[in-house]
Amino acid sequence: MDEAIVSLSHVDAGYPGKVILRDVSFDIMRGEVFILLGGSGCGKSTMMKHMIGLNPVLAGELTVAGMKWGSRTRAGLCRKIGVMYQSGALFGSMSCIGNVMLPMEEFTSLNRKERKEKAMSLLADVELADAADKMPSEISGGMKKRVAIARAMALDPEVVFLDEPSAGLDPITSASLDDLVLKLRAEKGMTFVVVSHELPSIFKIADRAAMFDKARGGMVALGDPRDMKVSSKDPFVLKFFNRGDSHV
Amino acid sequence: MFEFLGETCVCAVAALFRPHRFRFGDSAVAFQRASFDGIPVTSGVGFLLGVILAFQCAAALKAFGVELYVSDMLAIALFRELGPVVTAIILAGRTGSAFAAEIGTMKTNEELDALTTMGLAPVRFLVLPRVVAAAAAMPVLTILSEIAGLVGGAVVLATMGVPQSVFWSHVADATTVTMILFGLAKSLFFGFVVGMIGCFEGMRTKSTADGVGRAATGAVVGAIVAIVMLDGLIAVIADLWEI
């Protein structure tokens, strides 16, 4: 965990004409589970969109695996990252296994049998081998997210981004996704960057976290969230971790 | 729109050089939905169009005792203008709106973002197969619509006592190969336009409650306006070139 896989230096995040977060700097180390956290609308998903190359940063420098997003580096960088979107974003016209095989079909020289074997292995990793031939409309929200994680790992990425994996899930399904993240990190050594504001999930999986505050328009804390909860001097951070009560 | 058109053309040229990268399966599904599933409505509207045209024209021409020439007029009107234009309007309503709604829903479900972060260009993956399908479906539907229109006209004239052999021989005399090819070329072009506008509206769908609905409406209205304008332009060019 001593090499930065994602590095931000004085980054301004937002959209053209609207800066949401200013002057954000931190590194995400290889092999860690890193959480982007904060209240609703604070800019954590926007920050993730910069990291995965959907939107360019407004200022500063952002590198993933040592490269900046650009037209020349895009193709290479896309194979170094995997993304699970909040809704799963599975392609409705393809079965679950079809979704997982798609990146391999486009970017590897594996034949159909090899692709299918690898996709089945990935679905087994997320405990959904039985649902391989089902269509996304036939499976639950939690299962969609698991299939999306399997698809995100199809090209053996160096870093996997998860956008609010717990959103819309019951506590048991949400906890099982947390276990899955920890299992995949342990087995495959992947780096996970997770956007979340679910405290039980954060305390369970996070190595480190960056906390953003909408009112101040920037990062207000960086480190182990367990330490933040007990030793932060920042009233916003204390209030966030103690569910609204800043005096706890 | 021009950037989108350019990107689609670049993808189309790239697909010519690397045909294995073209998504034939997706295009075949879109073609089947645009063409075969649209046969009943297209041929039905074409038949009724022929009936209405024949009735209206026959009523006027009967006064001069030349209602037989309705068959010539029907052939020229259907093959040159009405066949391609009416079929394109039906395609805009059925297929253009469906393209906009499908792609718009994918956009609101973050599926376009997922494609982008996988390194797959949404234009190559979603737009090109659909535009090719729409362009390929149009000539098929246009021919069916034209034949159905002529059958409608034949039925009307049969009720007025015109023998079928006379009707169809007049149709054959009034029709030229150039006229048929001109109509089919127009239909191919209109299919491309309907596909492009449908996909363009889908790609720029906003993630709001009415976003997909607006995209579908925009696809139909935009395509109809574009078809009528382009048809006028083509008519002028055809007249100048004496086609």
Asked if A215 and A170 sit in the same domain, the reply is: yes
Q: How many domains does chain B have?
A: 1
The domain that holds A51 is classified in CATH as: 3.40.50.300
- What's residue A108's pLDDT? 86
Report the distance separating Cα B36 and Cα B191, nearest Å: 15
Asked if A177 and A65 sit in the same domain, the reply is: yes
B119/A53 touch (CB, cutoff 8 Å), yes or no: no
Asked if A114 and A208 sit in the same domain, the reply is: no
Task: Give contacts of B109 with chain A, Cβ < 8 Å.
Answer: 87, 89, 92
Partners of A33 in the β-ladder: A192
According to DSSP, residue B20 is labeled G
Task: Give contacts of B117 with chain A, Cβ < 8 Å.
Answer: 52-54, 78, 81, 83
Best interface-test mutation with A: which of B7, B21, B29, B109 has the largest number of A CBs within 10 A? B109
Segment B131-156 mean pLDDT: 95
pLDDT digits (tens, 9 = 90+) for B102-142: 999 999 989 999 999 998 889 988 999 999 999 999 999 99
Q: How many domains does chain A have?
A: 2
Taking 70 as the pLDDT cut, the residues of chain A under it are 1, 244-248
Q: Of residues B22 and B233, which shows the higher confidence score?
A: B233
Query: In chain A, which residue's Cα lies nearest the Cα of B110?
Result: A89
Asked if A127 and A168 sit in the same domain, the reply is: no
**Is A193 within 8 Å of A34 (Cβ atoms)?**
yes
Asked if A173 and A50 sit in the same domain, the reply is: yes
Range of the domain at B137: 44-240
- The answer to whether residue A95 sits within a structural domain is yes
- What's residue A248's pLDDT? 46
Question: What ranges make up the beta strands (E) of chain B?
Answer: none
| Mean pLDDT, rounded, of chain B | 91
Asked if A169 and A56 sit in the same domain, the reply is: yes
- What's residue A11's pLDDT? 93
* Res. B211: pLDDT tops 70: yes
A85/B116 touch (CB, cutoff 8 Å), yes or no: no
Report the distance separating Cα B46 and Cα B116, nearest Å: 42
Cα dist. A1→A227, B38, B79, B81 in Å? 19, 59, 71, 70
- What's residue B67's pLDDT? 81
Q: How far apart are the first and last CA of chain B?
A: 30
Report the distance separating Cα B92 and Cα B70, nearest Å: 29
pLDDT digits (tens, 9 = 90+) for B87-102: 999 999 999 999 999 9
Asked if A97 and A205 sit in the same domain, the reply is: no
- ipTM associated with this complex: 0.85
Asked if A166 and A141 sit in the same domain, the reply is: no
Asked if A61 and A106 sit in the same domain, the reply is: no
Range of the domain at A134: 90-156
- The answer to whether residue A85 sits within a structural domain is no
Percent of chain B residues topping a pLDDT of 90: 71
Asked if A47 and A162 sit in the same domain, the reply is: yes
| CB < 8 Å from A in window 5-34 of B | 26, 29
